[in-house]
Amino acid sequence: MIPLFSFGIFLVIIGAIGKVMDWSQANIIMAIGLLFELFAALIFIWQKIKK
């Protein structure tokens, strides 16, 4: 779960840098990063509920 979380953070940071530099793909990169964050959070919550 930690690798998904850290990769999501990495993508969000790269997307934010891309927004500043006016990259056309910056929104897509940020969206993918947020999806990774959401997926990692869902896995974390699922593991807590299972216990």
pLDDT at 8: 83
Q: Which long-range contacts (CB under 8 A, 24 or more apart) does 4-8 make?
A: 4/36, 4/39, 4/40, 4/43, 5/36, 5/37, 5/40, 7/33, 7/36, 8/33, 8/34, 8/35, 8/36, 8/37, 8/39, 8/40
Residue 2 has a pLDDT of 66
In tens, the pLDDT along 9-24 reads: 888 999 999 999 998 9
